[in-house]
A and B are shown apart, each in its own frame.
Chain A
Amino acid sequence: MAITQTPVTPQPQLIPTNLGARSFAAPPVALQQHIVPNELFFVRNHWKGTPGLDPTTYRLTVEGEVERPCSMSFADILQLPRKVLQVTFECCGNGPVPSYWDKQIRLNNVEKVTGHGIMGNAEWAGVPLVMLLERAGVKASAVQVVFTGADHGPDEVAGVPQEITYERALPLAKALHPDTLLAYEMNGAPLPALHGFPLRLLVPGWYGMTSIKWLVGIRVIDHVFKGFYQTDRYMVQNGPGAKEFYTYLTEMKVKSIITNPAPGEVIVPGQPYRVAGAAWSGEREIVRVEVSTDGGQTWQPTQLTPRIDYSWYRWEYLWTPPAAGKYVLMSRATNNQGETQPVEFPNRWDGHPYGNNMIFPHPVTVRAC
């Protein structure tokens, strides 16, 4: 009977974040786990659907400023030495924008439903990119490496250009880093279609837009790449007097979030509760995460669990709420360069959510059950 088959407590699902079903955020419960399962890992794509690459006919070309241009099949790539790394990354638009900037967001007709959910941590397996580049023989004239995805279409925001392929570049040093991967597995499974099957670039420590999905081309160039998604997207405006008008986002900034309690979770007064969360800072180390239970007036140290490879750090703090009421929790991470999260929303000049690593207020209700 229908009544008995109705799942009263269904499993959480990805949260659709825009019209057109091309992007999805992880629900809060997904970020409470160190490894985010594939079915709850955020999806941020520029166009609906996937290119539908066939691994039996797939080719990856390596060309440009190389001694030996080549084209490799997926089977060829699987034969190369394999590397497994845990890597956390976030979309550079991850994180809620404070209400005093909501107007800007609404003007852009983008409704912010994602919370902190356009990020995740997974175990990735693949081939170090440097192996392919060494095989091809990078010339001394090389400056950057451009990566081409099989996804294309009109720009999702303006519709212009009418036809554009997703491409971005890395500086040569980052491309040659032994941990920059061409990944074909995610959490022990073949790369899911929405995450770039059969092969994607994976750039540890950098924002997600750099890790090109459905990778079909690698082009070594002798100049700085000026492609649309390199120069017209993923940057924030600097303030007056700055040397450059924009800052282009690359390595993830120092940041932390609270995952427990989840939004809406109620805590009981007088009983210990394990406040927990995650922290990361690109390739850098996190040395300290502090928690405030009084809206930032006082801070207490947390217990920090070391990261694995390039994963996020997990942290926790045992808190006993003294009485029923409304509290504002906050977390604040500091990296080994002494950089810490700003109190205020950092993008005051354009109101854009990119690279927002502010200290986020986390309201919680404490009451007796």
Chain B
Amino acid sequence: MPIIDHSTQRRVVCDDFISERALVTHEHGATSLTIRELLIEPGGSSRLCSHPTDVAVLVQEGSIQMVVGEEVQTVRSGYTLLAPPHVPYKLINNTWVAARMLVISPTNDVQTDYLE
């Protein structure tokens, strides 16, 4: 049984506002699941993108504005957002504090189409 120690997972800095670390991937033994922890500082936003699978974004700390298709919603920790397959989505932190999220995909081969 793979046991993944979060503290040993390397955090990758994506840009000045965003960093992430992989918590569950095929490298950990997963065959149909990927979980990434995403941290977006105030002022930061992810690129508009879509995936061929569902993507669940579980907000763990702070608040985040999420664009999914034509909908825009700001939620805080304790809520989960769902981006359906092929629907563009984007995460924007225009709040006061950093937002920490778990991004969960039902595949071990996450394909991403960037739209901006």
Chain A interface residues (CB < 8 Å from chain B): 2-3, 5-8, 10-19, 25, 27-29, 96, 111-117, 262-266, 365
Contacts and interface: CB of A to CB of B under 8 A. Distances in A.
| Chain B interface, >50% SS class | loop
A8 B72 contact: no
Interface string B60-83: 011101010110111111110000
B67 A6 contact: yes
A6 B77 contact: no
A266 B15 CA distance: 13
A113 B72 contact: no
B62 A113 contact: yes
Contacts of B63: 15-17, 113
Interface string B85-116: 00111101111110000000000000000011
A365 B42 CA distance: 12
B16 interface: yes
A25 B42 CA distance: 15
Given A6-B70, A29-B94, A264 B43 contact: yes
Contacts, number: 96
A19 B63 CA distance: 12
A116 B72 contact: no
Place the interface of chain B in its size category.
20 to 34
B32 to A, nearest CB: 26
B70 A264 contact: no
A17 B75 CA distance: 9
A365 B16 contact: yes
Contacts of A25: 95-96
B90 A8 contact: yes
Closest 7 CB pairs of A and B: A264-B43, A115-B96, A263-B42, A264-B42, A10-B72, A13-B74, A6-B88
